[in-house]
Amino acid sequence: MESENEEEIITTSPQEKTMMLTKTRQYVTPYLPPPVVKTIHAIDSNPVFTSYTTEPSMAILVSTLLCFVVWNVLKIIGAVVGGGKSTLHLDDADDVLADTLATAKNRGKDGSGSGGSDKEEIVYDDTVVLCGSTGSGKTALLYQMCGSNGGLVPTVMSMKATVGYIKSSSSTVRIIDYPGHPSLSSQLPTALTSSSKKKQNPTRIIFTVDSTKPVADGAELLYSILTNATVRSFWENMVSKNNDTSKIPIVIVCTKQDVKNAKNWKRMKIQLRTELDKIRKVVLKSTKNNKSKDVNEGGGGEEILTLGVPGKTLDFEKLGEDIPVSIHFTSVSCVTGDGMDNLKEFVTSGVIVD
């Protein structure tokens, strides 16, 4: 009796599955475009597929959807698990793009990585930090400057710093592409103020903003950099140590200039200044309220760093005496290559080309 029941279960289970697939096909078919319906009919009438199941099209569709769901779940798990370790490890950052952006041993004639997987340490003379909000074109710039695939790379959300190298006739410069994900912004000062052992500290910065979108996210990140106590102290010490009266150069790169609705750097400068001014006013108001509260409660309060002169409109040329930086703007396109020569000149030599 038990064996008969088992046989019944084994023989009816595939039928139930087939019925479910049939009902699914009958339900979704009216909502599908004619070409898709035609393709489903062709698959269902093909003897190669029907030899396995009476509903081959639905079996393929369900299997594909299942694989898609599983793949995305694995990506989410990987992002969550990897996110906790997505810090900038400058000690071993040299190996991140060794096979992609080339090492001194396997660099191809076009500047891209070629040859075997053998790596050797690259000796570089300077470090440039490339940062900006998510989707502002940092990685595309990195590939363009380092000569890999013409700068045309898939749009991805990076969760780990990547490294590339650009060589001139007189020096080799390391470029650190720091991810723009908001969860990693608190670690950005580490990239701006330190380097790996026995290597050069960052001496200049490229900050990217998407010229086709609002500047709010970029302004918030830039404000956090310029008002960070650790970063400011590092800049002051570096200028003082070198007995240099010049300032740390920051180039605001307005990317995606090939897009139709892209704004040029002059318009982006105005919008970015306006947005920074809004943030500053909010911070100053909050600071004033907190100080009043601290006084009433008998506390000393913590000093909050701001930009510019209180009561006056923010001016990029007058950010404050304790901010030894000079801010410049330029427009580039990784698709057409416009503006890239000037940017490469800045990376390799530190010279600002207007």
Reported confidence tier of residue 13, pLDDT bands at 50, 70, 90: low
| Predicted local distance difference test score (pLDDT) of residue 24 | 74
The CB density around residue 40, as the number of other CB atoms within 10 Å, is 20
Reported confidence tier of residue 212, pLDDT bands at 50, 70, 90: very high
Handedness of CA 129, 133, 134, 136 (dihedral sign): negative
| Predicted local distance difference test score (pLDDT) of residue 239 | 79
In the chain, the N- to C-terminal Cα span, in Å, equals 90
Full-prediction pTM beyond 0.85?
no
| Predicted local distance difference test score (pLDDT) of residue 81 | 53
* CATH class of domain segment(s) 125-289+306-349: alpha beta
Residue 69 has pLDDT above 70, yes or no: yes
The CB density around residue 190, as the number of other CB atoms within 10 Å, is 17
Residue 248 has pLDDT above 90, yes or no: no
**275 vs 122: which has the higher pLDDT:** 275
**Mean residue pLDDT across the chain:** 74
Span 224-247, mean pLDDT? 81
* Domain boundaries of the chain, sorted by first residue: 125-289+306-349
In angstroms, the CA 222 to CA 268 distance is 14
Q: Check: CB of residue 115 under 8 Å from CB of residue 108.
A: yes
What confidence tens digit (pLDDT) does each residue in 258-296 have? Answer: 999 999 999 999 999 999 999 988 888 877 666 554 444
**119 vs 123: which has the higher pLDDT:** 123
Q: Check: CB of residue 117 under 8 Å from CB of residue 108.
A: no
Name the percent of the chain lying above pLDDT 90: 19
Reported confidence tier of residue 163, pLDDT bands at 50, 70, 90: confident
Handedness of CA 108, 117, 146, 172 (dihedral sign): negative
Span 192-203, mean pLDDT? 67
| Predicted local distance difference test score (pLDDT) of residue 195 | 55
Cα-based distances in Å from 21 to 25, 38, 217:
6, 17, 47
| Predicted local distance difference test score (pLDDT) of residue 268 | 95
What confidence tens digit (pLDDT) does each residue in 23-47 have? Answer: 777 777 777 777 777 777 777 777 7
The CB density around residue 221, as the number of other CB atoms within 10 Å, is 21
| Predicted local distance difference test score (pLDDT) of residue 72 | 80
> Can you read off the two tokens belonging to residue 165?
């190298």
What type of residue sits at position 30? P
